[in-house]
Structure 1
Amino acid sequence: MLCSSQLEDITENLSIPALSDLPKPETPAIPLNVLKTGNRFKESTDDEVNRLFEARQTPGTKKNTNWGCKMFQDWSIERRGEPVDLEAISPSQLNGLLEKYCEARPLKDGELYHKNILKKLRGAINRKLADLKRNIDIVKDKDFYI
């Protein structure tokens, strides 16, 4: 067992140095001029942001999106006499149109499309809504379940 004088000697030798007593590093982790001028993060132009937004889909996906939206617009023009304005339509109006569109089951060479094709059409319309920066998701939102 240690006596109290021995414990005092040990605790004096084990004192933690203050941060100011530590040696300064030769090179800081982040250069000081970066911290002072705020140049750590690059400024992005609107063109760069738009290019990144456009590059998120492959050309094949963009082609499929255009195909699906064209099918929906063709149906709308044939049945309603006017195209659907995806930029301005309300979610409830869009839901009503999509219900009618899915019930119509567009024809291909006289036969009804398979349900998987309808899913692809739904995905295409959903991507178009995302491209238009609409906060509508016809695949996941509860309002669009049939």
Structure 2
Amino acid sequence: MDDQNLPFFGEDLYQFVRNEILQTCQPQQAQEMPQPQESRQRFSALDSNELDKLEHGRVEKCTEWSTVWGVKLFKAWLQERDHDTACEQLPPEELAGLLRQFYGEVRKDDGTPYAKASYACLRAAIHRHLTGPPYHCKYNILKDKEFQAANNLYIGVLKQLKRDGKDTCKSYPPILASDLRKMFETKTLSVDNLLMRTKEQNLGYLGTTWYQLAVCRDNCVV
């Protein structure tokens, strides 16, 4: 080979090898490049139904059932009296007049009046229904002045029940001191050390806790 061609041969070989290396490395570099991460939203996107579901969760199941019962009873009365059952759309003044009449006329299926506690649950159920989702009424049937006449009649119904001796809400007789002492002696109620109690004593401690909570609730003692 001519010596004069060696530099050119060497330069061509260099360029060839360089191009091959670049072609080999370019796909690898493309694969190694980090992919951009998808942007994540910080806040959740909830529709109105999902928001209402969360708001409904503020009350317990038993309270929710009580609300359904009270509203169903009120709307049954409205229908029987040929009134619009869409009470949620009524202005406060008109609703107040209907509630006043309803409090005075509502009865059980057998025609007897409800107990005092049932009247309280009934009024509270209607209030929860109106102020909860999806209606969110701005008025308060328990306190607002538009409903003062209705609430006065409600109180009058409760007092009349008491005067007539028809308040069927009855309390259990108080526990005698001798019976209470016997329950502690027999470990029916127990305050033994937690780490040294048997299964039966654990049940006794559970009963003691329940008893103390019930006494505090009934006597309003903290």
2:129 corresponding residue in structure 1: 128
Once the two structures are aligned, what percentage of the paired residues are identical? Answer: 32
Structure-1-length-normalised TM-score: 0.63
Structure number with the higher helix fraction is: 2
* Residue 139 of structure 1: aligned partner: 142
Task: Note the 1:1-146 alignment, pairs <5 A.
Answer: 42-46=43-47, 48-78=50-80, 80-131=81-132, 132-145=135-148, 146=152
Task: Work out the number of aligned pairs and report it.
Answer: 106
**TM-aligned CA deviation for residue 123 of structure 1:** 0.4
Partner of 1:28: none
Aligned equivalents of 2:147 and 2:60: distance in 1? 26
Equivalent position SS for 1:62? helix
CA contact (8 A) 2:77 2:106 kept: no
Partner of 2:24: none
Deviations 1:68-94 (A, max 9, x none): 00111111111x224421231010001
The residue type equivalent to 1:64 in the other structure is S
Q: Which runs of 5 or more structure 2 residues have no equivalent in the other structure?
A: 1-40, 153-222
Q: Say which SS state the counterpart of residue 77 (structure 2) adopts.
A: helix
Kept in 1, the 8 Å contact 2:67–2:128? The answer is: yes
The separation in 2 between residues aligned to 1:127 and 1:45, in whole angstroms, is 23
Deviation at 1:44, TM superposition (A): 4.4
Matched with 2:33 is none
Alpha carbons of 1:83 and 1:116: their partners in 2 closer, same or farther (altered >3 Å)? farther
Rg larger for:
2
Structure-2 change in CA distance of 1:114 and 1:58 (3 Å):
same
Task: Give the Cα–Cα distance (whole angstroms) in 1 for the partners of residues 55 and 78 of structure 2.
Answer: 28
List per-residue Cα deviations over 1:87-143 (Å, max 9, x = no partner).
Answer: 310100010000001111323423111233122111000000012211121112122
SS in 1 for 2:88: coil
The runs of at least 4 aligned residues of structure 1 exceeding 4 Å deviation read none
Name structure 1 gaps, 5 residues minimum.
1-38
Q: What RMSD in Å do the two structures reach over aligned CA positions?
A: 2.0
